[in-house]
Structure 1
């Protein structure tokens, strides 16, 4: 890495997810993962994790197919927001201001090179829990759910991309993300890169799309309090007919304890426990993994399942 992050982006705010099976997808996110509904608009439902301070963590929208819509990133200040908008415009990327989400002020909407929609914003209305969701501790936004996994926060987004290096450069050069780990093929091509805006080890991931298509989703991830929550999630998914793709296990890259499942709309979800791993060093070196190292599989020897390289949404 060449230096510390700009700090203009504070964190991943929320994502918009499309589903062709809205009723079953809503059941999955509320009853299995434990998100709380916080409003509706047209074909969209606004959902939140219990430890999110904002209006929503996920916007679930009925659609003809699955896939990712908008990814929203909160700036660290109004000045920081306008600095990023200026950088995007000077780079020749088209964008426009929108005010189309509850609890938020203006969002500057643009697109990454691969076509993924990115929105930047600053103004955000802090969530106030109704009486039935009021927590016992005043420094917690909402009471923990008494059902499902009870995921704590939206953790990261993994995009599929035709050109990983180009996508990562967009996040680094124009948004101020820091790369922390990557996979480099023997040919020298970057197959995946993990990036962070804060002391978390990663917020965004770009992974090579072997289909050659553009703008697709690999997965979105929700963080749990503990590894035990992920083991419980596996049992809940098994009991309720939710497809388990792989895990529970531990990644070698980023050392995340994981479970991958498909929600009923076909989108891949990761339940992860990365809470104990932080990147505090401002001069953290970019760690590169080779093809031979990745061929060994995950941290404890589990081989990467083939669908991990072929399944993406839209299909």
Structure 2
């Protein structure tokens, strides 16, 4: 009996050692990175910009697998159902990871239960722009005009349920104005119609508007981020324009299936932060209109929770639904 007990103990110790070794040696095979955006956009470009550095730091190939659709729900559903071994990770945005739970009556996953945060990648600030024919020189004058003429001003944005849509709703709520929201299929078309005068205003990202702002063909009233942007140092934030507490930035980051070993999450997080802290990569990201956001998994998890609560309030107050 003693011999049997000793043999069983030896097997148990060996199994534990093997499990520990597997976690310590992670990764031992390529990593699938499910990206919930279509190829060619700024978010997809950022991910592909980071991949060579991730390959180098992790010692394995990181394979990008684009799975767009349903506001990010399709791609993240695949991640939620994947084995929790660190070899399938997902890149999701503010919609799927925070706002969609309030926008959709049914969700294919529970963000808090089905995922573990790995790290935030980038923030995407927006800017409220207007056609030069709008008789307002700054955001405070614009808000005063909109209050005096409820429903007169139309605001284009990048599509229902997008961060630009929610940024527009938050602007209207905090400013206490009634505007006509006009959804477009992306930031570019929204900016073009503001440029042509089809709509007076637009809530868009920097790549769609920066050139026209600098050329004086669009007026930049305020940026949605909590700090001024280096690309538009003279444009105030919404809070500086009088909307206390306004903070609406699009963002995206990496998550793993719940149950993924902490050692795997820590290694990927360290590789991400190494890439995101590189001045050359930071400059290239800013050229795409996004801000690098290195940080710890715990901070990213807390941010997801705070963003979920914030957008739940905005969506409820605006009675915004997608189904």
Instruction: Report TM bin, short chain.
Output: under 0.3
Q: TM-score normalised to the size of structure 2?
A: 0.26
Bigger helix share: 2
Q: TM-score normalised to the size of structure 1?
A: 0.27
The answer to which structure, 1 or 2, has the higher relative contact order (CA under 8 A, 6+ apart) is 2
Bigger Cα Rg: 2
